[in-house]
């Protein structure tokens, strides 16, 4: 008899727009679906700041499934939905909506997700076209685009705009934190900001030393990250720096192979201790073995 498949752990997420609304109906559906844990949050659909959701995504484990009753309970837009699902996939987790044909653990659900991706691209194009058309029409009527208060330098308008931008920035940080903060925690302060940025950008992210440091400073000020992450990195001999960099890549990647780590180092244009451009699997393994002897918690990699 074939062994029965391992049951996936379901984690529920319920959100209502105001404090007056109740989550009872969502809780009943999520419990009926088999959710072992349910996280609740109050916040408007347009709000970018959702600390409960951000923490849930940050702490969800490989193989677990984030479950919502409807898509609008999770995301403020199709683009936001795809961003959340992409982050879950990077962590080896899945997503499921009870009332929509989205279940990333099934081929049918992934097909629906691809359709949503096409819709998101269309949505962005339409918004861009409408914005351009609105500006063109305003100019034709003799109106100047933009905020009049900002053009005139009114302090209240400047303050409101700054606060709005800050809320957007913080919301974006909370949404994306689990894609960069774990790597920063694993590498800082043993590595320079440049090394951390190289590892993150090799994964398709877009950081500079300054933008990453600014993000971590903000998270530290909000008590969402540890102050020691901002400590100055000590100077290391070149060989030690390469060893800890290789170890950092291995620790920050859930399932790397020696060759994949080597390819990442080559993509970062990191030379071998002997100055070579090509990183062989044996060279990577040598550095990881050194790191283990130095007491670093490096996983066993083939």
List active site positions.
17
- Taking 3-state DSSP, the helix, strand and coil percentages for the chain, each rounded to the nearest 5, stand at 55, 10, 35
Report in angstroms the alpha-carbon separations of 268 from 124, 199, 204, 233, 248.
Answer: 32, 8, 12, 20, 14
d(CA 259, CA 301): 10
Pairing assessment for the beta strands 94-97 and 102-103 based on DSSP bridges: antiparallel
Contacts of 198 (CB under 8 A, 6+ apart): 268, 270
Report the C-alpha gap between 57 and 139 in whole angstroms: 44
Bridge partner residues of 13 (DSSP):
39
CA atoms within 13 A of residue 270's CA, in its CB half-sphere: 26
Determine if the peptide bond prior to 126 is cis (ω within 30°). Answer: no
């Amino acid at each position: 008899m074939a062994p029965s498949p391992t049951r996936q752990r379901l984690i529920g997420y319920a959100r209502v727009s105001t404090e007056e609304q109740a989550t009872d109906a969502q809780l009943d559906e999520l419990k009926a679906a088999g959710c072992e844990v349910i996280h609740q949050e109050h916040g408007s659909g347009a709000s970018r700041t959702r600390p409960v959701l951000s923490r849930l995504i940050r702490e969800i484990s490989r193989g677990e499934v984030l479950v919502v009753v409807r898509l609008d309970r999770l995301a403020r837009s199709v683009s936001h939905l795809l961003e959340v699902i992409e982050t879950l996939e990077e962590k080896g987790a899945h997503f499921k909506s009870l009332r929509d044909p989205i279940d990333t653990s099934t081929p049918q659900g992934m097909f629906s997700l691809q359709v949503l991706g096409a819709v998101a691209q269309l949505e962005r194009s339409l918004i861009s076209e409408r914005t351009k058309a609105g500006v063109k029409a305003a100019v034709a009527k003799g109106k100047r685009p933009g905020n009049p208060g900002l053009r005139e330098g009114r302090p209240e308008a400047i303050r409101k705009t700054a606060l709005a931008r800050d809320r957007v920035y913080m919301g974006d940080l909370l949404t994306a934190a689990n894609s960069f903060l774990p790597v920063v925690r694993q590498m800082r302060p043993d590595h320079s900001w440049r090394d951390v940025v190289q590892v993150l950008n090799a994964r398709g992210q877009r950081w500079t030393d300054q933008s990453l440091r600014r993000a971590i400073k903000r998270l530290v000020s909000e008590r969402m990250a540890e102050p020691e992450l901002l400590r100055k990195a000590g100077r290391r001999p070149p060989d030690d720096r390469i060893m800890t960099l290789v170890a950092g890549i291995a620790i920050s990647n859930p399932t790397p192979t020696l060759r994949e780590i080597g390819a990442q180092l080559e993509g970062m244009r990191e030379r071998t201790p002997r100055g070579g451009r090509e990183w062989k699997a044996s060279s990577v393994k040598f550095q990881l073995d050194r790191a283990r002897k130095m007491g670093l918690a490096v996983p066993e990699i083939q």
